[in-house]
Structure 1
Amino acid sequence: MNAAVSPITRADTDFDMLIVGAGISGIGMAVHLQRNNPGKRFALLERRQNLGGTWDLFRYPGIRSDSDMHTLGFVFEPWKHEKSIADGPAILDYLNKIVDDRGLRGNIRFGQKVVSAAWDTETARWTVTTEGDDGSHSVLTANFLFLGSGYYDYDQPYDAQFPGREKFGGQIVHPQFWPEDLDYAGKRVVVIGSGATAATIVPAMAREAAHVTMLQRTPTWYAARPAKDKFANTLRKFLPETWAYAITRKKNVFMQDITFKTARNKPQKVKDALTKMAKEHLGDRYDPVAFTPPYNPWEQRLCLIPDADLFEAIKADKAEIVTDHIETFDKTGIALKSGKHIDADIIVTATGLKLAVAGKIAISVDGEEVRFNERYYYRNAMFSNVPNFAVVFGYLNASWTLRTDIVAQYVCRVIAHMDKVGAEIATPVMANDAKIEDDNIFDFSSGYIQRSIHELPKSAKNLPWRLNQEYVRDKKDMRSAPIDDGILTFSKAHAVARPAAAAESELEAAE
């Protein structure tokens, strides 16, 4: 859905909160703020001309969720479609409905790329500089800054640097920048990769292409499930939408949690179950080389295939999986290290994303650059010694929106507490000599994580200095943990940060 660029030169440029990004995270934060902190003035800064973030950027064939929409949907907005594994257009419709039903479209400033954000303790304000589509720059200020800018680079995908690509006589496409006019009907297609994107593209292109080959270096664990959630659709016949949605959401959260923990504690049991599933769907087309990864399930994200569409494409001879290494591209396709050759008219490089910390925004506090790989997460949302600032980095083992909801709710609690004690600044304070035991919570072998792990923020063994990976526990902690925990400190502009209890007692004495 297109939207005109909102005027950025109007006098009203100071806000209680600025939200960067109008995708799932940004929209979620805006709705929670609107619901829980009425009267707060906020704006969403969106670099594109449309809302939706990932779901507007990616346009490749078959684009869909890789999580069920009862957990990828928001806690406040029931998912009402029949299909639980939804396609991109349906997800965009869902997000646009939320924005329009709640009157949020006027809060979004489209075509505004945030390039820098500078915090000033003297004024308790973030100064945010944006760049418009025409190259012009604008400045806005806010007391609180929330990043809903995602986790990957919108401008550059990961480039695997395949040799010989300049020799290829056909077309090379990356899923992040899919050409609108790409004609692949009747053509031979090679999709390099075996993750969620490749598993989506292969069966979708196979419907029109002459043949599609998934070329993988390493196999992936696949789990097939119906695109329609029979349990959810049955409940909707007898219960109000909100009840049916809440019950299904709770059930799916429980199943995600059990599956992940079983994979970590009893990996062979899960490997056997997934292997059995693949064999049952593929029959004599099952190839152990293609479907037996060298790692345990959930050491990389488990790949969901709705209605077993990838398996069905293989059984119909419309697609195949080749496990090999690339020697070089040549004029007619790809030469493999095994000596084999795959002929191709189109090559799709579904080789992953390039991570981008904090949306590549230049962030500073009192004139000093914030290096996030030197900062610790605080309660899944904030960072050590960075005031009035929060961000969403979704779960590796569950739906992104589960984290969005609890982070947004927590931020709303922080803001409400600031109002209660008359504070203007909230800072998770970590002393320079604090003894923190680090923990690698990104213990996934996925390439896109391992390539960027040195750039990512730190996590401790224990809360609150941790980006935890257990939604049920995080939900409870972020709802019940005291805001004034002695670490998150509150102050006014021109004042030194102090614990909330002290701030509150001083304010009461003054009154």
Structure 2
Amino acid sequence: MASEKVDYDVVIIGAGISGINFGYRLQERLPNLSYTILESRHELGGTWSLFNYPGIRSDSDLYTFGFPWRPWEEQTAIAEGPLIIKYMKESAAMHGIDQKIQFNHHVNNADYSRTSKTWAFNVTANGTEQKTLRSKFYLICTGYYDYKEPLQAQIPGIEDFKGTVAHPQSWPQDLDYTDKNVVIVGSGATAITLLPNLAKKASTVTILQRSPSYVMSQPAEDSLEWGIRRLTWFSKPLQHRLLRWKWVLMPFLLTRFAYNFPQAARKMFGNLIQAQLPPTLPRDPHFNPTYNPFEQRVCLCPDGDYYAALRSGKGTVETGVIETVTPNSIKLVSGKELHPDIIVTATGLKLRFAGGVAITVDGTPLNIADKFIWKGVMIEDVPNAAYVMGYVDASWTLGADATAQMVCRILKQMQKEGVKEIVPRRSEYEKEHMKEEPLLRLTSTYVKRAKDVTPKTGATGQWRPRSYYYKDIMMAWFGDIKTGTEWVRGV
């Protein structure tokens, strides 16, 4: 069988939280393998480098969103973007991972050769230089949305508006919203973050939503964390371990409760929200979602800053459908009009698979939307490649690390058995009878709109979607890594 000289054993695409974590796991468990990280931007950080809107922060706790091998030291669970990217840069530098990153390297396409058992990456470096890099294994750590183009909101008449229209993904750094009336179109985590931060300088900030979200307050340090810190003052490693597992366990119990007892969860969430509302804003319709908790992402606001802004009178909420935008107003179907100086379209992300890299096998393009994901990790019919997808009801990094540990185990087993290629395959029975499931278990509009550009999961066997961290990490350590795949030895 023909061989092809490779530049690296492993090429990782993306230097965000997933790519950095993968670099660490490779160094830890397979130090004999060479790797590089190709990053299209000028710095590491992914989301936290790209987004710069006021108050950008995590929507998961940093005790689990942070790396398991470098504990989060701050005493606040929810952190703003600049602090997160500082932590990521320090973590990468501590282990020399930053020296493995090639910045301003945009991967145009990746082609796998079944003959040579190698990947060839066509790369544009520094905007002009064309090069080809080869590897044995391909790790896709590009997230799940389009970095170049935000989701364009379908708002009738928005092009006629004479004021400023801003999107959080491409926030104008010179935008002055002091004493301005701002309307944020959307009700997700970004809108919930923007309202209290814009309200510090704006005259008024209104969230305009078609339907509400669940918004839960998270104290900077709750009583359990306070107790853990004081009881474990003598051992920082023990303290970090307990804090991390507290944040793994509590969200897990909450989501299981919500999935199994949705009406009880609705009532509990509703009571918590009602207690924080100002008397001028009724819970129904503004804070009473039509869906159950965790059917869409539950938004967190640190120390209840979102509700504090509403109680101050600087922030408010309007629920309704936009009829049209005029040069100086937003007209709702109800007949009400809003008169903003600035409109912010916080209407979600444009989903994109593999960062837009065109993937081919022996030059034949793949229709990713027709493919299934094996164990939430590998793509059907795509050899020697893994795809990182985190959780929608827990922190992204938990899922990313479960994937990294499973892939490292697979690579070790490939070395042990002399295997050159592993490729997931559905059986003929599965192709005919297996029920399809969406990749992301969310009912959000931006997720529904992306079903034609993302792979699928199945209802049975090795093709089922991710479930929860405990199960996935046990699968990574001890689970079956052979069923549903072909392992091809070298000659």
Does the TM-score normalized on the shorter chain lie above 0.5? yes
Distance 1:285 1:334 in 2: 22
Residue type matched to 1:396 in 2? V
* Selected match of 2:348 from 345, 352, 365: 352
Query: Residue 436 and residue 239 in structure 1: after superposition, are their counterparts in 2 closer, same or farther (change >3 A)?
Result: farther
What residue number does 1:438 align with?
A: 435
3-state SS of paired residue (1:271): helix
Distance 1:331 1:286 in 2: 28
Distance 1:45 1:247 in 2: 35
What residue number does 1:478 align with?
A: 476
1:205 matches 2:189: no
Query: Residue 460 and residue 292 in structure 1: after superposition, are their counterparts in 2 closer, same or farther (change >3 A)?
Result: same
Contact 1:396 1:469 (8 Å CA) reproduced: no
The alignment covers a number of residue pairs equal to 482
- Residues 249-276 of structure 1: CA deviation (Å, up to 9, x unaligned): 2222221112112112211211111111
- Residues 280-324 of structure 1: CA deviation (Å, up to 9, x unaligned): 112423412100111111111111111111110010001000001
Distance 2:446 2:96 in 1: 37
Q: Displacement of 1:40 after TM fit?
A: 1.1
Contact 1:18 1:42 (8 Å CA) reproduced: yes
What residue number does 1:491 align with?
A: 488
Q: Taking structure 2 as the reference length, what is the TM-score of the superposition? A: 0.94
Residue type matched to 2:365 in 1? E
Q: Taking structure 1 as the reference length, what is the TM-score of the superposition? A: 0.91
Residue type matched to 2:453 in 1? E
What residue number does 2:118 align with?
A: 125
Give percent identity, aligned residues only.
37
Q: Displacement of 1:482 after TM fit?
A: 3.6
- Residues 32-91 of structure 1: CA deviation (Å, up to 9, x unaligned): 001110121100000000100001100001100001111111221101011110110111
1:97 matches 2:90: yes
Q: Displacement of 1:373 after TM fit?
A: 1.9
What residue number does 2:463 align with?
A: 465
Query: Residue 125 and residue 279 in structure 1: after superposition, are their counterparts in 2 closer, same or farther (change >3 A)?
Result: same
Residue type matched to 2:266 in 1? K
Distance 2:429 2:293 in 1: 39
1:54 matches 2:35: no
Q: Displacement of 1:448 after TM fit?
A: 1.4
Q: Which runs of 5+ in 1 are unaligned?
A: 1-11, 496-511
Contact 1:205 1:212 (8 Å CA) reproduced: yes
1:392 matches 2:380: no
* Selected match of 2:185 from 180, 192, 196: 192
* Selected match of 2:32 from 19, 24, 39: 39
Equivalences for 1:226-265 in 2 at 5 Å? 226-237=219-230, 238-265=233-260
1:279 matches 2:277: no
Q: Which runs of 5+ in 2 are unaligned?
A: none
Name which of structure 1's ranges 284-293 and 221-230 shifts more when overlaid on structure 2.
221-230
Equivalences for 1:12-91 in 2 at 5 Å? 14-91=7-84
Distance 1:387 1:486 in 2: 15
Contact 1:439 1:459 (8 Å CA) reproduced: yes
Distance 2:473 2:433 in 1: 23
3-state SS of paired residue (2:275): helix
3-state SS of paired residue (1:146): strand
Q: Displacement of 1:367 after TM fit?
A: 2.1
Distance 1:377 1:279 in 2: 41
Distance 2:225 2:123 in 1: 43
Residue type matched to 1:281 in 2? Q
Contact 1:15 1:143 (8 Å CA) reproduced: yes
Distance 2:56 2:220 in 1: 14
Contact 2:427 2:484 (8 Å CA) reproduced: no
Q: Displacement of 1:99 after TM fit?
A: 0.8
Residue type matched to 2:328 in 1? T
What residue number does 2:130 align with?
A: 137
Query: Residue 90 and residue 233 in structure 1: after superposition, are their counterparts in 2 closer, same or farther (change >3 A)?
Result: farther
What residue number does 1:268 align with?
A: 263
3-state SS of paired residue (1:477): helix
Q: Displacement of 1:460 after TM fit?
A: 1.7
Contact 2:208 2:318 (8 Å CA) reproduced: yes
What residue number does 1:290 align with?
A: 286
Q: Displacement of 1:455 after TM fit?
A: 2.7
3-state SS of paired residue (1:281): coil
Name which of structure 1's ranges 285-294 and 169-178 shifts more when overlaid on structure 2.
285-294
Equivalences for 1:158-177 in 2 at 5 Å? 158-177=151-170
What residue number does 2:145 align with?
A: 152
Distance 1:463 1:255 in 2: 28
- Residues 344-368 of structure 1: CA deviation (Å, up to 9, x unaligned): 1111000111100121111011222
Distance 1:239 1:299 in 2: 41
Distance 1:454 1:71 in 2: 31
3-state SS of paired residue (1:427): strand
Q: Displacement of 1:372 after TM fit?
A: 1.8
1:323 matches 2:319: yes
3-state SS of paired residue (2:437): coil
Query: RMSD of aligned C-alpha atoms?
Result: 1.7
Q: Displacement of 1:431 after TM fit?
A: 3.4
3-state SS of paired residue (1:213): strand
Query: Residue 229 and residue 43 in structure 1: after superposition, are their counterparts in 2 closer, same or farther (change >3 A)?
Result: farther
What residue number does 2:302 align with?
A: 306
Contact 1:80 1:241 (8 Å CA) reproduced: no
3-state SS of paired residue (1:416): helix
Contact 1:125 1:144 (8 Å CA) reproduced: yes
1:418 matches 2:414: yes
3-state SS of paired residue (1:453): coil
Q: Displacement of 1:106 after TM fit?
A: 1.6
